[in-house]
Amino acid sequence: MVTAAFFAAVPAAMAAGTVSLPKGYEKWEKSKQQIVDDKKSLFYGIHYTYVNSKAMNTFKKKGTYPEGSMFVVVQYGIRQEGGKPVQGKKSMIVLMKKDKRYKETGGWLFAGYTPQGKSSGIDPVKNCYECHLKEAPDRDLVISKYADFR
């Protein structure tokens, strides 16, 4: 017998394994360079956030994001050049997509990818949702801020 709990867990398991990166995300609005220098952080490095047009209006004004809103973060390592942090090699890519089927992650699909765009197998609850819930409960779980784009 298949239980309701099994079906509730299916979207989270599917996220990392079967969801492809959206094509053309590099043409979406892009943040300025952001540096996270805390070596304990999952996001240690230099990253850029891309926001699709469906999310941009809410991103600017705040509120609840419409279905299909997407954010892609491209992460790079940090190397030192002349005592200053500079962008190293690409280290990971993450996707956050508003999708009401993902109830266990607040109505968002979270997925991680290798620098080549293959699934990284991250745990969408432990590695993504729990942090987003802690950092941005009042911003519909979106940690990035529009101020990072100006």
DSSP symbols for 44-68: -EEEEEEE-HHHHHHHHH-SPPPTT
Band (pLDDT 50/70/90 cuts) for residue 42 is confident
**pLDDT value, residue 7:** 36
Query: Is 75 buried (19+), middle (13-18) or exposed (0-12) by CB count in 10 A?
Result: buried
Type of residue at 15? A
- Beta 29-30 vs 45-51: how paired, if at all? antiparallel
For the chain, the domains span: 4-149
**pLDDT value, residue 131:** 92
DSSP reduced 3-state for 127: helix
**pLDDT value, residue 17:** 54
User: Per-residue pLDDT tens for 84-133?
Assistant: 999 999 999 999 999 999 999 999 999 999 999 999 988 999 989 999 99
**pLDDT value, residue 41:** 85
What average pLDDT does this structure show over 50-68? 96
Cα gap 150→148, rounded to integer Å: 6
Highest-scoring range by mean pLDDT, 2-16, 17-31, 53-67: 53-67
Cα gap 142→106, rounded to integer Å: 11
Band (pLDDT 50/70/90 cuts) for residue 52 is very high
**pLDDT value, residue 12:** 45
Share above pLDDT 70 across residues of the chain, in percent, rounded to a whole number:
89
| Per-residue tokens: 140 | 């519909």
Band (pLDDT 50/70/90 cuts) for residue 1 is very low
Query: Is the model's pLDDT at 139 over the cut of 80?
Result: yes
pTM of the entire structure? 0.85
Tell me which CATH code domain 4-149 carries: 3.50.70.20
Cα 21 to its chain centre, rounded Å, is 11
